[in-house]
Amino acid sequence: MLLLLLILCFVVYGCTPLVSSPNQAMNSINSVSQTNVCPKQPIGILNQTNVKAIALTSTEINQTGQIQVGQSLGYVFDAKANQKLNFNTKENLCLYVYTPSNQLLNGSELPETGRYTIQVAVPSGMTTFNLAMKLISNDVVAKNTVPKDTKLLANPQPTPQTIQPQVAQPVTFQNIRVSFSDGSTGTSINGNITALQINRYLLNCGGGQSMSIRVLNGNINLNIIDPNGRNIGTIKNSFWRGQLPINGDYILEISSRNSSNYKLNIEVI
């Protein structure tokens, strides 16, 4: 009887393969095609420990490294307004440039004088890269562009130029141990920071405890790093709260693009 029913089902409906709905198929295509596409806005946090100071001039320099998806590396350099930043790499890198006023650069011409930050990421997988960079001044571009009506000399004499390399100053780190008063579950921290400085506050906490941090004053960036070196939180809207995963020293890493005084409250229960 069961065999007869199976035969009737096969005759009526035929042998039809399973097919995904149009939306499912499109989502599958998009998830594959976007794997190697860089987003317009950087995704992830640029940890100051992964930022390297470099000196860029008109002579091309090379930086090498290894990076995987979800990770960001950074370079900081000083430049003048109207210079142009030139990149050259064979790898599929996502490159984002921040101006001294912390705006994402659109194009290659630098709008202001100051310190710029390059954030490097990859859209997928892990990549060992070679990134060549240099700065081009507007006067160099102008000399390479000759108007049509200009008569060239038979033997033009080059004008000697003296290039003064810009030496970037290194970032300094300051580690500060934080302890609570007896019977207290919290404390306040006052401090100051410059653009070339990172302050790290160390707190010994237990797994399962709850930590909350509120920034009361100051234009700062703050990352919470667990004892294994993983970033478990970033201050957004001046407040963060989370449960601590393991026992050990937690790091509150404070940085800023400009000099700033700051004050924050910490509570662990």
123 or 245: which leads in pLDDT = 245
**248-255, strands of its sheet edge to edge:** 172-177, 197-205, 248-255, 221-225, 231-234
Per-residue pLDDT band for 9 (boundaries 50, 70, 90) equals very low
**Which pLDDT does position 182 carry in this prediction?**
86
- pLDDT tens by residue, 194-215: 988 899 999 999 999 999 999 9
Element (H, E) at 141: helix 138-143
Bigger pLDDT: 1 vs 239? 239
Q: Hey, what domains does the chain have and what are their CATH numbers?
A: 48-141 (2.60.120.380), 172-268 (2.60.120.380)
Model confidence pLDDT, tens digit, residues 149-187? 555 555 556 555 555 555 555 667 788 999 888 889 999
* Token pair for 116: 């710029």
Judged by average pLDDT, the poorest of 173-177, 190-194, 228-232, 238-242 is 173-177
Tens of pLDDT along 118-137? 999 988 888 889 999 999 98
pLDDT of residue 47: 74
| 242 pLDDT more than 50 | yes
Mean pLDDT over all residues of the chain? Answer: 79
Position 217 scores a pLDDT of: 92
Would the pLDDT of 89 be above 70? Answer: yes
- pLDDT recorded at residue 170: 62
CB 255 within 8 A of CB 198: yes
Distance CA 214, CA 266 (A): 7
Beta bridge partners of 87: 133
Cα(48)–Cα(50) distance, integer angstroms: 5
